[in-house]
Homo-oligomer: A and B are copies of this chain.
Amino acid sequence: MENYINIYKETRKKLKAYSYMMWLMSWDRETEAPKASLDFSSQQFEVIYADMYQMESDPKFVEAIEKLYENLNELEDKDFQVEIKNAYKELRMIKKVPKEEYLAYGLLTQKGSHIWAEAREKNDFELFRPTLEKIVEFNQKLVKYLETEELKGYDVLLDMYEEAFGVKEYDLFFNKVKEDLAPFVLEVTSKKERFSRKLTKGLFPVEGQKAFGKYLMEVFSYDQTKGVLKESAHPFTSGMSSVDTRITTHYHEDNLLSSIFSIIHEMGHAIYELQNDPKYDDTMLHGGTSLGIHESESRMYENMIGRSYAFWSVHYPKLVEIFPKQLKNVTLEEFYKFMNKAERSLIRIEADELTYSLHVLVRYELEKQLISGKLKVKDLPKRWNSLMSKYVGKRPKLDSQGVLQDIHWSGGAFGYFPTYALGSAYAAQIYQAMNKEINVEEIILNNDIKSINAWLKEHVHQFGKSKTPKEILQIATKEDFNPSYYIEYLKRKFS
């Protein structure tokens, strides 16, 4: 056993270093690398990626994982048991997927995000279509390779992002959303609210938005010695350790709220990973336990804290100080209502809290059909538009505002989107539990968000991947997943 542990830990050390390099390279490609260099950097990526696969599939490493898994209960360290369990699950990829296909797919998705970015910029789905077809095709094959008695079809992919959450569970959840929430949404969004032209037509220079972004990082105690805020086409969080977790945003001069709420959202993700116990940095247990839990943190920061009246009663004056002309005569009440307006919109990441889960529903249904083969990629833009029309009540005119708006599929992420809606539901449940122990509104009014960070660190963040989503929910809320909190929260807020 000692020997197997050593083999595992030595390879783990290497894999961590190689992952770090690839992580840095992706970060660079998304935020800074000169355009003309992307092919050259892909070539280098290819070499490292192949070497990494070599390590992961080394028979000695595979044997070590298998032996350790067979004797899991003999391992004294509970965390190490979890790590071996996860590693054993990951072996599927090595053992069941042909090496060439696996490597080719890695490169495809690595290049994919740049092809997508160009297609989105040019509003040209055809530019992206061949790449997306290959990605979907690989995912269909992947499903076949990995299917078991318990996991079939799309479930194989869903399980990768949220353990034990498949079509059955998601259908139940989304049906509740459709039945309990959809009629309410329809009613709320049928009323048209009018806002000051200053808010709807104002221009907010990037420099001012950057200054407010900096201010927000202080308010949320996003530690700048461990983080970076940069720009990219699509906001994201990217971290490798409790001492380095970076975020991006995108500034639109005609949309002040976009950068504000994407920064708060990504800080929710980043603070989760920064507050992982540092002992996990050198293990495979650093990071979020699942995408659903990860998204619960970002949603809670963005919506439940960031869009609260208490929050802006403290911080609106700072925003007015930065944009005195643009916000002249715009009251706090009007600004608060504006950021919480519910309407039928096209862009998911700018959608309001109330309609958000319907945007996700569109993607969930499309993925089900794409993976099963019922829907072809070439027909995707049309189907996208018709589902948007059906669920959100609005049809995109441009693909850049429709099917091309999200980066996820270009990176091969199928089964990922549903966790966004799940995250909002988790968020409502965790928030309600936290609010029983500490007075969240008072904390926000005291501009003391580090106390919220501290509660979340203790009940959610510190554990990294060492607990399952189910275990986290039990620790934080003392009950299993219950979507009613989410529906109730939305109805209360938007009534």
* Chain A residues with a Cβ under 8 A of chain B: 13-14, 16-18, 20-21, 24-25, 27-28, 32-37, 39-41, 43-48, 51, 207, 223-228, 230, 240-241, 243-244, 246, 281-282
Contact = CB atoms under 8 A, between A and B. Distances in A.
A322 B472 CA distance: 56
Contact of A44 (B20, B27, B47, B224): B20
Contacts of A224: 34
Contact of A244 (B37, B48, B282): B37
A41 B228 contact: no
Nearest to A34: B226
A141 B51 CA distance: 34
Nearest to A27: B28
A25 B19 CA distance: 13
B44 A16 contact: yes
A326 B39 CA distance: 44
Contacts of A45: 17
A43 B21 contact: no
Given A18-B48, A34-B225, A40-B241, 19 more contacts: A16-B44, A16-B47, A17-B43, A17-B45, A17-B48, A21-B25, A24-B24, A24-B25, A24-B28, A32-B228, A33-B244, A34-B227, A34-B243, A34-B244, A36-B225, A36-B243, A37-B241, A40-B281, A207-B207
Copies in the complex: 2
A35 B228 CA distance: 10
Contact of A17 (B28, B35, B44): B44
B21 A48 contact: yes
Contacts of A223: 36
Nearest to A281: B40
A241 B42 CA distance: 13
Contacts of A240: 40
A16 B32 CA distance: 21
A262 to B, nearest CB: 20
A227 B32 CA distance: 9
Contact of A28 (B28, B41, B47, B282): B28
A108 to B, nearest CB: 18
When A and B form their complex, which 5 residue pairs have the shortest distance between CB atoms, in order from nearest? Answer: A37-B244, A17-B47, A17-B44, A20-B44, A21-B21
7 contacts: A13-B47, A14-B47, A21-B21, A21-B24, A21-B44, A33-B244, A39-B243
A56 B103 CA distance: 25
Contacts of A32: 228, 230
Nearest to A245: B34
A389 to B, nearest CB: 39
A244 B40 contact: yes
Contacts of A241: 37, 40
A291 to B, nearest CB: 24
Task: Specify which of A20, A28, A37, A226 lies most central, judged by the most chain B CB atoms within 10 Å of its CB.
Answer: A37
A14 B44 CA distance: 8
